[in-house]
C-alpha cells in the first residue's frame, strides 16, 4: 500500500502519516499509535 492510500484511509494527510511513522515530536502520540495500528 502506498503512503497516500494509507493516509486517505486514516483521514490524515500523507505528511502527517510520514512524520508519525518517522517519530517526529510534533505529531501527537495518539496519531502515532493510530498510524501504527
**Which domain covers residue 26, as residue numbers?**
3-36
- pLDDT in the model for residue 37: 85
Predicted TM-score (pTM) above 0.75: yes
| CA atoms of 22 and 32, how far apart (whole Å) | 9
Total domain count, the chain: 1
- pLDDT of 18 reads 95
Alpha helices in the chain (DSSP H): 3-10, 14-22, 29-36
State residue 6's pLDDT score.
94
> What gap in Å lies between CA 2 and CA 22, rounded to an integer?
16
Segments of the chain scoring below 50 in pLDDT: none
Residue 1, pLDDT score: 79
For the chain, strand residue ranges (E) read: none
Amino acid at each position: 500500500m502506498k503512503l497516500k492510500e494509507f493516509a486517505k484511509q486514516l483521514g490524515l494527510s500523507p505528511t502527517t502519516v510520514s512524520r508519525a511513522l518517522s517519530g517526529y515530536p510534533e505529531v501527537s502520540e495518539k496519531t502515532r499509535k493510530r498510524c501504527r495500528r
